[in-house]
Chains A and B, each alone.
Chain A
Amino acid sequence: MQNSQISPIPLNEGEVGRCYRVMNVNATGVIRQRMLDMGLVPGVCLTVMRFAPLGDPIEIRINRFFMSLRREEARFVLVLPVGSCPRPRHGRFRRFFHGGSFGGRR
């Protein structure tokens, strides 16, 4: 965290109890669709809650929403560690009023 140049890691390497911001979703097909449909999209902030007793599926929290995914699926989600996910709604307002960022710097 103290490191100024943090690079994204795959979500399956996330640590329990820490917060991450989703940078990209590189899964394909159904898995990607399911992730996007459930709100696992770039920009959102998530907390790694726990791993299942047998060690595989992983539980994450996005806002008040709990979801699980297998490690092999989490591999395709690139995340960046962040300090904390504020518990109440975290409406990070991006493009909604500013028009497109299409082509703009990110």
Chain B
Amino acid sequence: MGDSAGFFMGDPSVAGDKEIFIALAGNPNSGKTSIFNILAGANQKVGNFSGVTVEKIEGTFKHRGYTVRLVDLPGTYSLSPYSPEEKVARDFILFQKPDMVVNIVDATNLERNLVLTTQLMDLEVELLIVFNMIDEVEKQGTRVDYTQFEKLFGAHVIPVSAMTRFGISELLDHIVDIKSGNIETLKYKHQYSDKIEDEIRALSEIIRDRVVWKHLPTRWLAIKLIEHDPDIISMFRPFPCWASVENVLESLREKIRRFENKEPDVFLAEERMAFIRGAIRETVKNEEEERETPTEKIDNILLHRFWGLPIFLLIMYAIFQFTFRLGEYPMQWIDRFFQFATRSLDVLIPASMLKSIFLDGIIAGVGGVLVFLPNILILFLCISLLEATGYMARVAFVMDKLMHRLGLHGKSFIPMITGFGCTVPALMAARTLRNRGDRITTMMVVPFFSCGAKLPLYTVVISAFFAPSMAGNVLFGIYLFGVIIGLISARLLKSTAFKDESEPFVMELPPYRKPSARSMLSQTWVRAYLYLKKAGTVILLASVIIWFAGSYPKNAEVHKRHETLRQSPGADIALLQRQEKAEQLPHSVAGKIGKFFEPISRPLGFDWRLNIALINGLAAKEIVVSTMGTIYALGDTESDSRTLAESLRSDPAYSTATGLSFMIFVLLYVPCIASVAVFFRESSSKKWTFLFVLYTLSVAWIASLAVYQLSSLLGL
């Protein structure tokens, strides 16, 4: 909302007679999403709230002749303007004006959940409170006096259980009844003490006549002014009435500070909590003394002083292995399928330029998109398992001290280690970070955690220039170098660009829950779908472009000579075709670009051929090796990596220094087009996407320069 213009832009949707427009609000872990899934079923539409990367899930269903349109607001603890999720939820309620806000409340934890409810009450919306997990509460012998509760909160309460589906039809009926006027809606009781209510009323009187935002509840504006809500203050500031309002406001705030010895917002929060606790005291009866919860027992083990860390590392290791080892098989199938498709189509379609585009460009491109899918699916299944069970918050709890040293949040750990597998899912995993500064910083450094696709190249180069006994050390050194650069970069970014943007660690350690397979699968599917949709198109396009640049224009002379060579009896057609490709390369766009960049790549030890490999590597890092294969007119590079290493070693243009410098460059520069596309999707910032490319390129260039010059000096 930073600019107050955003305040006026909402379009209150025009609801038809038989349409009910509902927003679902609630704390994280309140079971909001489960209830949404039960209500909306399969009719879900995933998008983003305008302008922010906060996921917006919409659904529709019919009940008793009404079409109910349901929007799942992000799970938040409050409606303060400090996080994008909360801002989105608040703006949505204020400006989209839903007919009703259904507030999902975790009945096992009323005290905290009702904080949001009191804030919704301040907004003066039509409110329907849903007590979820009521079965758990009743099992513990707790009884709720609903009539009294409804009287205090001024809203109807429906007890439900998303787990057993108890109360869902009552909820639906109630929604329709409220809309159709079959039941009377209740009037809000004010929740603050008389003294402060008087002040709120007085302030409301002052701003009522002067304020142009007639569609915003005046009482709510007054409360927010007392709390010094930055958005509301900046909204008022440009208007002439602000000077007089400010005077009244400041003396009121000063009064609270003096008498209560607290900041006004702290005092109002205390008042709300007092109201909540009073209401609970009056309406909820516990019979049983509460015992140590299962969550406490589990945490005594998982967060144990000595065992907490090893257990955590074990879980991380398992996820990593699961994602990349298990993902390898479907990846191979996808790869083989596309190889098979290429080969069969190669036979079926007559040779032409279109055929080449189709086979080498499009099919290869689609393959390049799909090949990441198994990794993404498995990793996100694991991540949503961590999130659904509640362990994700513990990951942050365990790792925070370490990550905080780098200026990051404990949750950054998962994207970072995922980066060792593949940058694309790692960037997507950064979503679990709610703070933008932390998220962008994490995303910026993820590429330095060397991804799996770079490994084949390291293997080739290391076997070309290093003794087998040294291979392990060199490889480890490369990985370590990446990690160090990544950590330095994180520190750098957090102390410059995102200096003041740190996520406070104040967060919930939610109770452990049995995850619902359904919501885990749907979350995973959403991720996969978003990846395919956005990244897919970009990767596809990029593959076609890179193919085109590598193949055209063709030199007519070379082509003619090879044509005649191929005619000669006993010619090895496949070999000749490869040789032609290699000879055509310098004439192609890619070759020209490679030569164009020679002046700046020379100091790093790269000639135009390595440049082409690097440029093609933008499509995917696997391609670096296969391009080098093309350069040396080698066959299927997978089986010929030893030959490739041989060719590299015997090439007079290259030395050990070149090899080292080349590996460092591949380690650090832009991971691939897919990652850039995903970076853009996840950051929704052109500026940061540009910086992502620029930063990785410059770091790679500088590091390679240093490595090449230094090792040349040492005579490597």
Contact = CB atoms under 8 A, between A and B. Distances in A.
Interface of A: 24-25, 29-44, 49-57, 59, 62-70, 73, 87-103, 106
24 contacts: A24-B266, A25-B262, A32-B265, A34-B504, A34-B506, A37-B78, A38-B77, A38-B112, A39-B115, A41-B269, A41-B272, A43-B270, A50-B305, A56-B404, A64-B111, A65-B111, A66-B511, A69-B506, A73-B504, A89-B280, A91-B277, A91-B278, A91-B280, A93-B277
B507 interface: yes
B510 to A, nearest CB: 8
Interface of B: 77-78, 80, 82-83, 108-109, 111-112, 115, 193-196, 256, 259-263, 265-266, 269-275, 277-282, 284, 286, 289-291, 293, 295-296, 299, 303-306, 308-309, 393, 396-402, 404, 410, 504-511
A89 B291 CA distance: 12
Contact of B275 (A33, A73, A96): A96
A94 B256 CA distance: 17
Contacts of A53: 303-306, 308-309, 398
A63 to B, nearest CB: 5
Nearest to B304: A53
Interface of A is mostly: loop
Given A25-B266, A43-B270, A43-B274, A66 B115 contact: no
A51 B303 CA distance: 9
A95 to B, nearest CB: 4
A93 to B, nearest CB: 5
A57 B82 contact: no
A12 B561 CA distance: 80
Contacts of B259: 102-103
Contacts of B510: 66
Most buried by A among B261, B278, B506, B510: B506
Contacts of B505: 57, 68-70, 73
Nearest to B77: A37
Contacts of B508: 38, 65-68
Given A68-B397, A102-B193, A95 B290 contact: no
A33 B401 contact: no
Contacts of B397: 52, 57, 59, 68
A31 to B, nearest CB: 4
A37 B111 contact: no
Given A24-B266, A53-B303, 14 more contacts: A24-B261, A25-B266, A37-B269, A38-B508, A43-B273, A51-B305, A52-B308, A57-B397, A59-B397, A63-B109, A64-B293, A66-B509, A69-B506, A93-B281
A102 B115 contact: no
A95 B401 CA distance: 40
Contacts of A91: 277-278, 280-282
B304 to A, nearest CB: 7
Contacts of B506: 31, 34-35, 38, 40, 67-69, 73
B120 to A, nearest CB: 13
Nearest to B508: A67
Contacts of A44: 273
Nearest to A96: B278
Q: Across the A-B interface, give the 9 residue pairs with the lowest CB-CB distance, nearest first.
A: A100-B195, A91-B281, A102-B195, A96-B278, A37-B78, A56-B401, A36-B269, A53-B308, A100-B193
